Amino acid sequence: MDCLRAFLAKLQNWQRKVNAGNVAMFENLSTVLDENEDHLLDPLLKTEITQHLKSLESELKNYFPEFEEEDGKLVRNPFSGTLDIATIPSDVQDEFLDLKNDSVAKDLYEERSLTVFWRSMYQSYLKVSEIALRVLLPFSTTYLCECGFSTLLHIKSKSRNRLGVDPDMRCALSVHNLGSVT
């Protein structure tokens, strides 16, 4: 979510800069404008770029709705002293306190990534893990979709423009997924 918030802030900053006529963040466009004699951005193009950036911002906000900041704190560090127990759903509080005071779980948290940690806590702390995995899941599924699109773009290049990419995609993605599991 931190990366997403930073990117959304960049989009808003880029919109402001484009409205002021500054397109330095768009390297290719900036090069074309530098080669142009008057170095000015066409008002119609400025509007189109701004609209595109607004549309991208809107789509990202729609695809990744804000989650409660307390859920984020719980996921990032369930052992934090600043995490307020009152912000955790009441039916999960006792289980959370058990987790927070589990020294083996704390050792695992320090040794493993967040996703591996929460997946390993699923058997022992089901309700708390479900909250954490619900927060983490959209990012991993988005990552897999992006990998699929990148693979498709690589396979279906101009030199290999054919319709039946299913076997190639299946092979490429299964190799990719095996690599990400290990």
The pTM assigned to this predicted structure is 0.50
The per-residue pLDDT for range 87-97, each reduced to its tens digit, is 888 998 999 99
Q: Among candidates 134, 135, 110, 132, which has minimal Cα distance to 121?
A: 132
**If 0-12 CB within 10 Å is exposed, 13-18 middle and 19+ buried, where does residue 102 land?**
middle
Q: What is the mean pLDDT of residues 72-100?
A: 87
Q: Among candidates 151, 129, 127, 147, which has minimal Cα distance to 139?
A: 147
The per-residue pLDDT for range 51-68, each reduced to its tens digit, is 999 999 998 888 776 655
Sign of CA dihedral 84, 87, 90, 92: negative
108 CB-near residues (< 8 Å, 6+ apart)? 117, 120, 121
More confident residue, 13 or 86: 13
* Least confident stretch, 133-142, 143-152, 158-167: 158-167
Q: What is the mean pLDDT of residues 6-16?
A: 93
pLDDT at 3: 78
Q: Does residue 181 have a pLDDT over 50?
A: no
